Structures are given as C-alpha cells and as structure tokens.
Chain A
C-alpha cells in the first residue's frame, strides 16, 4: 500500500512537469478562453491528522462526494480512504465558462504511528468533510501511576 503525499495540482504522475507548464499557459491565457486541461486531472483530498491522548483524528476535505462514494479500509496500522467524485451531468464543452472542479477517483493511505483499535474506528461525513476517529489501543494510552509514600 502506497503512502501518497498530497499535492494540489495532482503532481503524482510522470506528467507533472508538463502539467506545470500547462498550468502556466492556462494562467497566461486563462482570460482568453476556458481552462483547458490536456491530461486527465488527478486529484487527492487535503487531510489533517491530529493526535490526542485518547485517539487520532483524520479529517479530509471531500466536497461533492456522497457518503456512499467514500470507502474506508483498515489494515494493521494503516488506514486507507478511497472515493470518487462523480460528475452528475456532462454538458457539451461550450456550456462551461469555468471548469475548476476535479472529478474521478482517488485513494490515500496513512500510517498511524502508534497504531489504533480497528474495532472502534468511527467516521462521519458532514458539509463535505470526512471525520474519522481512530481510538488508541489501551496499551498505547498514557497511564497515570500513583506514587505512594509510606
């Protein structure tokens, strides 16, 4: 399973250099026409990963996805988010004045440093943001040991 770093312009493909150039051209000529994209766009959601004493929380920006289009998988210390943003209707090209939204499938995996209790993972999806709570295993939680004085 691959750990995929987030890059905003989908620079995970060998086409990244060309894509950059294309981006520059789009910026130069952006006002003359629509933002054409020669290659298929790759997208990957932005993610925050935080850790508290009790759990890890993973938040991902997934605007325009439906609950049923999101899939979560856990293996060992790894959590994988898979999903697809589906285009509801495809109009002929001349109907678009701006086309900045990305469509298609993505997949990202994250290794959770100290592991988590895979039986207790919960997830919710609200306002286009996925929020996953990965509770720590009991043995990974900090313990308070009382010091007794005789």
Chain B
C-alpha cells in the first residue's frame, strides 16, 4: 500500500498513520484529533482508499495567545494493492484515532497444506 498526494483544490492536513501488515489483514491507524465518528468519510474508488475527516471547528472568540493546532480538515489517499479485499473493510474510531482493518483476499493468505 502506498500513499499519494491529495488533490490541490482545498488545503488539507495529512494525518499521521501507521500501516501494519499482519497475516490476514492490514491495519491502518490514522491520528485525527478533533474529528468525531460522524466526521469520518472512507471511500474506495478506482483502487484507492480515500480518507477524509472533518475537524469540529469552534468559532474563534476572545483573544488568542497561542495557536498551534491547524484547523484544516484531514485527507489522505492510499492506493490499495490487489491483495486487499475491497468488500471487507472495517473501521473504528476511538480517542481521535481511526483504525481501518483491511482484509486480504483469500488467495494471498498463508495457507497450511496438509500432507497426506
């Protein structure tokens, strides 16, 4: 799985991710602070997994002393290899981290062959 640059139309933040391959699955963990479960959008299109996250932005009020948190929405596009089953993608959101579980197609999973 490789990453590609998002389109230039709007300014997005690329979330930090870990991509971990296991025997039967590939896990994608993305840090999306300030994004609720409802703000997440995952889309599979033309062999790519498109992740967008809407940050809950509160209108700025009062005086700003420090402003380090970027207020843009998140977006990152991942290209899916043929080993990923497009129909079996699960996602869960917890404490600002999205975990996407991508299942491998059966053909690429390690198999034990019994010796008769």
A contacts, CB < 8 Å to B: 6, 31, 46-53, 56, 59, 61-66, 91, 95-102, 110, 113, 125, 127-129
B66 CB → nearest A CB, Å: 4
Interface size on B, residues (CB 8 A): 33
Interface contact A49-B65, CB-CB below 8 Å: yes
Interface contact A64-B21, CB-CB below 8 Å: no
Interface contact A62-B96, CB-CB below 8 Å: yes
Interface contact A65-B19, CB-CB below 8 Å: no
B contacts, CB < 8 Å to A: 1-3, 16-22, 26, 29, 31-36, 56, 60-70, 95-97
CB-CB under 8 A from B68, the residues of chain A are 6, 46-48
Q: List 8 A-B contacts (CB under 8 A).
A: A48-B64, A48-B67, A49-B66, A50-B65, A62-B96, A63-B95, A127-B33, A127-B56
CB-CB under 8 A from A102, the residues of chain B are 16
Bound together, the chains give a CA A119 to CA B78 distance in angstroms of 48
Closest 4 CB pairs of A and B: A128-B96, A63-B96, A52-B62, A128-B33
Bound together, the chains give a CA A100 to CA B19 distance in angstroms of 9
Bound together, the chains give a CA A47 to CA B2 distance in angstroms of 31
Interchain CB contact (< 8 A) of A101 among B3, B29, B65: B29
